[in-house]
Amino acid sequence: MRIGILGAGHIGSTLARHFDRIGHEVVISNSRGPDTLEDVVADIGGSVRAVTAEDAARFGEVVVVSIPYGHYRDLPADALRDKVVIDTCNYYPERDGQDRELDTDTTTSSEKIKEHTGSNLVKAFNAIYWEHLRDRARPKGDPGRLAIPLSGSDDGAKAVVAGLVRDIGFDPVIAGNLGQGGRRHQPGTAVYGAELSAEESDALLHAAA
């Protein structure tokens, strides 16, 4: 599968390495351009290439958005329209600036990114600490395999993302649709940043429902 990644930081570059390792064709981007990503791409290794954010968005059959939430309006919306987008972003007001709609829980960061991009968006990989994402991949059935909660409003897109989660060595757990489901694995929830099995994660997500 062709996977484009927007954001070459902790999560974006870690996902690039995983997806390349399991045989996907991966390009990665940041806000400053591919020339600034030489060291990052060398460190990721494999066949990952650096491109512009616009080109990464156009390239991907699946596109990962992994940037500070406060920058979401800079995303190349035309290139993301109708695509399966994986949103790893979290809202941290001290980093992103205050967002009144999120502060009042009128909507969620993922719903705002979905609205801006017109994409088929799935929230995933937002609730796992990047070092756990880097180091804790395990084969199916391994007792130490960690859960990754995900949410979205399209079953087909959720199935695609769940498959990617599984293939890189984690257990996907469906939290629900993008609004209510997504709220169950945002910062401050019981599963956020927790090292949980699929069973434990599922129980906490249902308790939150």
Ligand X SMILES: NC(=O)c1ccc[n+]([C@@H]2O[C@H](COP(=O)([O-])OP(=O)(O)OC[C@H]3O[C@@H](n4cnc5c(N)ncnc54)[C@H](OP(=O)(O)O)[C@@H]3O)[C@@H](O)[C@H]2O)c1
Q: Of 114-122, 128-136, 140-148, 161-169, which segment contacts ligand X by CB under 6 A? A: 128-136
Which of 3-11, 149-157, 162-170, 197-205 is the region at the interface with ligand X (rule: CB under 6 A)? 3-11
User: How many residues line the site for ligand X (CB under 6 A)?
Assistant: 26
Q: If binding is defined by CB under 6 A, does position 108 make contact with ligand X?
A: no
Q: Is 6 in the site for ligand X (CB under 6 A)?
A: yes
DSSP state letters, 68-91: -GGGGGGS-HHHHTTSEEEE----
User: How far is residue 73's CA from residue 89's CA, in Å, rounded to a whole number?
Assistant: 13
Q: Does 130 bind ligand X (CB under 6 A)?
A: yes
Closest contact distance (angstroms) between CB of 141 and ligand X is: 25
69 vs 204 by CB, closer to ligand X: 69
- Enumerate residues 30-69 that contact ligand X by CB under 6 A: 30-32, 53, 66-69
Nearest Cα to Cα of residue 182 among 145, 209, 143: 209
Asked if residue 134 binds ligand X (CB under 6 A), the reply is no
Strand extents, DSSP E, the chain: 2-6, 25-29, 49-50, 62-65, 84-87, 120-124, 147-152, 171-176
The pair of structure tokens assigned to 155 is: 């079953």
Q: In what order do the strands lie in the sheet with 120-124?
A: 49-50, 25-29, 2-6, 62-65, 84-87, 120-124, 147-152, 171-176
Distance of closest approach, residue 133 Cβ to ligand X, in angstroms: 7
- Within 83-102, which residues bind ligand X (CB under 6 A)? 88-90
26 binds ligand X (CB under 6 A): no
Residue 165 to residue 75: CA distance in whole angstroms: 24
Q: Which residues bind ligand X (CB under 6 A)?
A: 6-12, 29-32, 53, 66-69, 71, 74-75, 88-90, 126, 128-130
